[in-house]
Structures are given as C-alpha cells and as structure tokens.
Chains A and B, each alone.
Chain A
Amino acid sequence: MQLLHATDYSVAQPTGHHDDAPAKNGGRSWWSRWAARLVRRPSAPTDEPAAALDRPPVVPAQAAGVAAATDLPTLVEGMLEQGRYCLLLRPQITASLSTEQYGLARDALERAMANVPAGLVDLSRRDAESSAEGETLRHVEPLMLDRYQVTNRQFRQFVVAGGYDVLPLWDAEVWPVLAEFVDLTGTAGPRFWRSGRYPSGEDDHPVVGINWYEAVAYSRWVGKRLPTDSEWVKAAAWPVCLADNQVSQRRFPWGDVMDRGRCNVWGSGPGRTAAVTQFSTGVSVGGVYQLIGNVWEWTSGDFDGVDAEGEPLDLPTMLKTIHGGAFDTYFEHQACCDFQSGENPLSRKHNIGFRCALSRCDVGTAVVRTNPLTL
C-alpha cells in the first residue's frame, strides 16, 4: 500500500485557511471560485449542485490524477506515461515493483535525467569584489537533474491530470489565487495556452508562462523538486575541486568563452523559444541541455538582492532566483553559469521555464522479487 500512499492526493481539506473576507468575484470565497473551476473541467465530475460551491473543497480522486485502475501494472504503466517514474523509484516504493517495472522506471530516469556528482561549488560572482574567499563555497550532495527543460507536452500531462485542482501539490499561500492561474481562455494552465492546449508545433518547446508555484507543483506531481541555486550552478559550471578547497569552474557549460552558436540567446536563435533538444553543442559535461539560453529557469532559492557588483539591492518584493538566461538575454555576462537574477514568484513570463532535480538518496535500488505485490 506504500505505492498508493505516495500518490494519494484525495485528502485535500484546507482547514485553517478559510478566507472570511468577501472575495472579489461577487463576494464568493476563494474555494468557491476554485471549486467552480473544478466543476467546469470536462474531466471533473459535474453532478455537484452549484449551491454546494460555497463549501471548502474535497478533491475527487480522478481530479487528483490518481489512476482509476486498481491493478498495479496499469497504474505503473500510467505513471510511466505521465513521466512520473521518480515516484515509482522512491526507496519506499521500489519494493512493490517487479524487476521489469523497476527496470522500466530506471530506464526512464536514465534517459531523462543526468547525474551531478557531489562536491564543492563556488557561488561567488566573478565580477564581484565583496565576496570573501571561502564564504561562497557550498557543498552539494549528489543529485540528478533533468537533461531538458520541462516541455509543453510534459506539462500538459499535469494539466490534463487535474494538477491545478490538487491542493496538496500547492503551497498553502497560493490557494486563494490558484483560480487565477489560467490561460488565455480562462482554463487552468500556463498563461499563453488556449483551452488547456499549447501552441501548435511547440510540443518540445519549454513550457513558459508559469510562475514559481506552478513549477513547484509540477515538480511535486512528478516526484521531483526544483534544484537549489548551488545544485544548478554545480550542474552547469561543473567545478573541479583542486587542493586546499580551491575550485575551478567554467563560466559556460562548454568552457570559459561565450559561443552564441551553442545557445539560444539574443542574436543567435530564432528570437523565441526553441525545442529543448536543440543546441546540442552547448550541452554540459554531465549531459544537460540548454542550461544557458532558451528560457530562464526557476530554482528553489530566494534571490539574494545583490547585483553583479556585490552591491545590496532594495527589492520591491521577495523574489525567487532564476538562472541561465533566455532567448532574449542581451548581454553575454547575464547568460553565464554564475549569473543569477530574481523574479516575483507569481510572475508568469514568456521567457521563464524550469527543469526538475532529484536527490540521489531519493532513488531506490532494485529489490529482486519473485512475486511482486498487487493492489
């Protein structure tokens, strides 16, 4: 039953977060707006009477993306199709899988994610003068990082499965505004989609128009998380630890000199997002694509409020860190491994996407079973 526990979202009862003040939309509380959207979804049950919408939400199991199938093979197959192999590879789950099922999940992991070894990384900015030596060195535990940015096709799996309606996937502070995370037609989804669909021909383009919370929710849904700043820089700059804790790391994934032909930044690409598999010459040592360019990537860290010269900044609000530059990044020093910028976590911009990470300790090893459990 551990497998069911890992994917069971049907207990969403947001106690203690009731909004007593009259809400904007006709005085309806946030959960009634949220529930109204749930009812509008074609795949969600629509037999709930409208009068019941003023109650706090109870998420139906189907809307939570839990497979309706009760047998393990179908459930595993469905999760693999959705790209949720990491949930299957949790140490607590692998014991429930057959060798074949484990192998399939493991293959999916190896194809989609790259290893980043443990070690030190230097988070100082090269043009900063204020960073004291040694203070900016961070130790990073071994992890796996998505080889590609999360694509429209992958994110659509999350939208179709009703990920926007599963409250436990979302941080509680955004529950009141969850109903506003909609596309151009008012359907739940990234900002620039229409009726829950991304623009034609952009299946393999990175998903954009998603805020930090949407990135976090997707990451949770697939059993991953956003990388920390240290992890992101470690994967991109691929530092080599020399004697006496001296770290030598790259300015760009391919070396120390900018080569615009290796990345999608201003002046080198189509002037908009490109497929995540393009620019293969810009791949990192570990085999991660487009860490520089195409779209900025949300990380889990808070922006430190320091500019490139180490001067403290007065930020308009709390910002989350973004890394790597985008297709419209103009200056090359803003599209390098050690540059970070900040963005409001609620912003849904045209040039910010994300990729996911996974700690190596969250990947279980194979357990040889002759008679795997069935649900």
Chain B
Amino acid sequence: MTQFFPPPPGSYKIDFGGMDLLRSRDCVCLVKGETFEVAVDPALAKGGWPGGQGVQWVDATSDAFTVAYSSGSFGGFLLWGSNESSDQYTAMTGQQLTYGYAVMVAGRGLISTSSYEQYTLASRTGPGPLVPLVYGANDLLYFSLRGLWSKEQEAPNLLSSGVVAQVPKAVNEFFLGVQFTL
C-alpha cells in the first residue's frame, strides 16, 4: 500500500490517505439524514433488527406512526440495531424492543453498513449454492424482500433507495457504503 505519511523529504505536502473509521456498529453514519422516532410493529419487536434495516410504514390501531420490516418499499432505515454489541451493558440495552420504538432515517445522506444482501435472491431461496452479489460503485440500491440493502430489485417496480458509494472490501471490513435517497 502507498505510504502517505510521513511526506517525502523536502515536501510540505501531506497526501491524505483516507479516514480511519471505527466500525463498531451495524450502521456508521457519515452524513446524517432526517430522523424520526417511530413505533415498531409486533413482528419487528419480536424478531429484532440490525442497524441499517429497511422499514416501511404499516397501519396501526393506535395513533402512532408505525413501521414494519420492508418488503421493498420504504419509509427509511433504522439507525440503531435492536441489540447491537456496542449497546450491551449500558442504560439503553434492549430498550428499543422493550418500549416498542426505533429511530428511522430518511432523506439524503451517507452511511457505511453491514446490513446488505450478500447473495442473490434466487440462490438464497433456491436449492442451489449461494451466489454472491458483486457490488460496484454507483450501482442503484433497493430494499430486498426482507429490508436489507441490495443491488437486486427483488420487489418489482419499486423505487431505488440509494446508490453504492463504496463497495465492500477488506479495508472497510466489508461494510457497504450507501448514499441513500429516501
């Protein structure tokens, strides 16, 4: 790998070699969108979710704005997972599940997340071997049928939810960079 620091002798130029991102969460936020506090439906509350989970609106019997797992539509995505390792042994351990709420993100911004589909829908649901999805910069992204970011349009005729800003690779701990357009 190219050495960026220290600069060559006699040079006053420091070539900035990139950020050192601490990816200790499912969803690392680099540019924030708009955030909403939403109620989660019983399926979400029971099943839990990772940070970056896509969600869609669902009608509720109470006067609360409620979301469920996305099946291709959005809403937005949930900023924090329901039981992330970084939240253990703190005051907020499990509190989203306990109180039935989550923080949803919409609008425009940039994240790095581990919540994306790694294999094609056909190979995930068929009997054959798993076929990896290969992400490229600028690929359009959609929410999969279970609400994870995917380059496959698993639910037809639904809008894209973002584009690939950074592909998963060893130097980013195989997180997917997403410029979201929700």
A interacts with B: no
Chain B: residues with CB nearer than 8 A to chain A? none
On A, residues with C-beta under 8 Å from B are: none
